[in-house]
Amino acid sequence: MIDKNTLTSNIIVFAKELDASRAVAKQIQQAIVAKQSAGQPIVLGLATGNTPKLVYQELVRMHKNEGLSFENVITFNLDEYYPMMPSHQLSYHNFMNIHLFSHVNMLPENINIPYGQWSKAELIEKCKIYDEKIQQLGGIDIQLLGIGRNGHIGFNEPGSTMDTCTRLIDLHETTRNDAAKDFEGLHNVPYQAITMGIQTITSARKILLLALGERKSVIVHKALTGEITSDVPASYLRVLPQIEFIFDKEAAALINR
Ligand code: PGA
């Protein structure tokens, strides 16, 4: 039984979203460089959405101005809409190219993103292979996460349990509504997505959950101080030793510390 009053001490609050994002990028940079010094690859779990944009901007800056190389970096993205063409403007394939991959020296063969065109017949097997590939590479070193306003991590919507692996999932109403503006109407938003599971995510050796802005303050408060439950998948994270919550002061506004 997990004590619902357990509040992780691993919370860092920054005055500005740029400072919070830079702190996340710095941790990723240091981990990449440490692995390079050891002559090893690093496996990163990556997120999409508004939240990580400044993190990627900072990593691109480090690549261009400070010579940070991505040659030893292997990435696994959390999720992709389903069905979705990788070439679609709003695919997460396209998002990653725009915000990170096209600006740095990633090797294309080191990029892994769930494929929104897997057929229904092959989907279960492909998702299994996705998880197995992560394991074969030694697991994720650093997993970057945002948090949805309904408490989802990746697209693990409310109801997702700790033991879930990469799979097809129905998108929650809140998630589809939040995407409606980008898709120019709710009717254009996909109903499903492929997402890494909570087990996949929580197997990472380090997890950095970034939340920015006032619109995340209610769910941040709920995930950190409410019941630990599948109704709020992010609530599972706070008992993990490898979690670090990184907030700007608006996102952290309701946490009574
Ligand atoms: P956002 O989404 O970064 O666009 O707010 C976060 C999430 O849904 O995980």
User: According to the model, what pLDDT value does residue 5 have?
Assistant: 47
Measured in angstroms, how far is the CA atom of residue 37 from the centroid of ligand 1? Answer: 33
Instruction: Check residues 257 and 155 and name the one with the higher pLDDT.
Output: 155
User: According to the model, what pLDDT value does residue 2 have?
Assistant: 42
User: According to the model, what pLDDT value does residue 4 have?
Assistant: 44
Q: What is the percent of the chain where pLDDT is above 70?
A: 96
Contacts of 69 (CB under 8 A, 6+ apart): 32, 36, 63, 105
Averaged pLDDT for residues 21-49: 98
Measured in angstroms, how far is the CA atom of residue 116 from the centroid of ligand 1? Answer: 19
How far separated are the first and last CA of the chain, in Å rounded?
Answer: 23
Averaged pLDDT for residues 136-156: 98
The rounded distance, in Å, linking the Cα atoms of 69 and 154 is 26
pLDDT band, very low/low/confident/very high, at 6 (cuts 50, 70, 90) = low
Supply the pTM of this predicted model: 0.96
Which CATH class name applies to 4-249? alpha beta
Question: Of the residues 17, 51, 99, which should be mutated to test ligand 1's pocket, given the most ligand atoms within 8 Å of the CB?
Answer: 51
Pairing of strands 142-145, 167-170: unpaired
pLDDT tens digits for 41-95?
999 999 999 999 999 999 999 999 999 999 999 999 999 999 999 999 999 999 9
Atom nearest to 47 CA in ligand 1: 9
The rounded distance, in Å, linking the Cα atoms of 164 and 192 is 16
Whole-number mean pLDDT of the chain? 96
Is residue 15's pLDDT more than 80?
yes
User: According to the model, what pLDDT value does residue 125 have?
Assistant: 98
Catalytic residues: 79, 150, 152, 157
Residues with CB under 6 A from ligand 1: 49-51, 146-148
Length of the chain measured in residues: 257
Atom nearest to 147 CA in ligand 1: 9
pLDDT tens digits for 152-199?
999 999 999 999 999 999 999 999 999 999 999 999 999 999 999 999
Cβ(235)–Cβ(227) below 8 Å: yes
User: According to the model, what pLDDT value does residue 198 have?
Assistant: 98
Measured in angstroms, how far is the CA atom of residue 155 from the centroid of ligand 1? Answer: 10
The rounded distance, in Å, linking the Cα atoms of 47 and 99 is 11
User: According to the model, what pLDDT value does residue 256 have?
Assistant: 67
Question: Of the residues 50, 92, 175, 248, which should be mutated to test ligand 1's pocket, given the most ligand atoms within 8 Å of the CB?
Answer: 50
Is residue 9's pLDDT more than 80?
no
Is residue 223's pLDDT more than 90?
yes
